[in-house]
Amino acid sequence: MISQSEITYDVYISDMIPQADATPLPNGDHPMWQPMSSTLISGPTEAVLVDPPLTIKQTEALADWVESFGKKLSYIYITHGHGDHWFGTKPLTERFPGVSVYATEGTLEVMRQNASDGVPGEFWTTRFPDQIPDVPILAKTVPADGFSVDGAKIVVVEAGHSDGDNTTMLHVPSIGLVVAGDVVYTNVHQYLARLATMTRRTLQRPGNTSTMPKASLRPGRRNCSSSPR
């Protein structure tokens, strides 16, 4: 049996990158795409990588980092279907032959909304032209009996809607680790555009007599100097 001390994790941050074809921010700054984290959970001999990044360049840098650990990359796990958490999958499978790619059925559904026939959707190509690799969906659903790294059980946790539909987290009980994907953001504004759209649609549905006050649609962040409304 593997001891807890033999399972470790490390986090790699893909830094912010500029978005093409984007309207300048109110202060004149060029919009940047948020930083993204990928997590490597390692045992003595093998590892699982959680969430490949978005662009070819980011993926090459991440692959170098993964290789530096000297472990067999057995699995890639994708927490949710947003392209910036899986578009780098194909180059990684070429760099680490034999790796199995896993996601939930719900994640696969959202992945198909982000890309079709191996081509990223327009949302992505307009922001990152000529920067994204081919994006065939290589993930398979997680086996019914789950998977493990050097004997340490890896547990998929369904989180429902967070910054998108069908999001998940990974739990590694033996070391008390939760890899939360985009269910948790730290020092980065969470992507809530989709949530706002869904909420507005609900409120605008014909016959909706919701008494939900307008205050329910207020953003969670605001300037401290603004007066409460």
Cα gap 105→205, rounded to integer Å: 29
**Cβ of residue 96: shortest distance to Zn ion, in angstroms?**
24
Taking CB under 5 A as the criterion, which residues in 163-182 touch Zn ion? 163, 182
Which of 13/212 has CB closer to Zn ion?
13
Taking CB under 5 A as the criterion, which residues in 177-216 touch Zn ion? 182
Cβ–Cβ under 8 Å, residues 102 and 75: yes
**Cβ of residue 82: shortest distance to Zn ion, in angstroms?**
4
Which of 80/90 has CB closer to Zn ion?
80
* Residue recorded with tokens 């049996």: 1
**Cβ of residue 6: shortest distance to Zn ion, in angstroms?**
31
Which of 22/188 has CB closer to Zn ion?
188
Cα gap 189→209, rounded to integer Å: 31
**Cβ of residue 181: shortest distance to Zn ion, in angstroms?**
7
**Cβ of residue 76: shortest distance to Zn ion, in angstroms?**
16
Q: Give yes or no for residue 82 binding Zn ion (CB under 5 A).
A: yes
Contacts with Zn ion by CB under 5 A: the residue count is 3
Which of 94/109 has CB closer to Zn ion?
109
Which of 74/107 has CB closer to Zn ion?
107
Residue 58 backbone phi and psi in degrees, to 5: -60, -40
Enumerate binding residues for Zn ion (CB under 5 A). Answer: 82, 163, 182
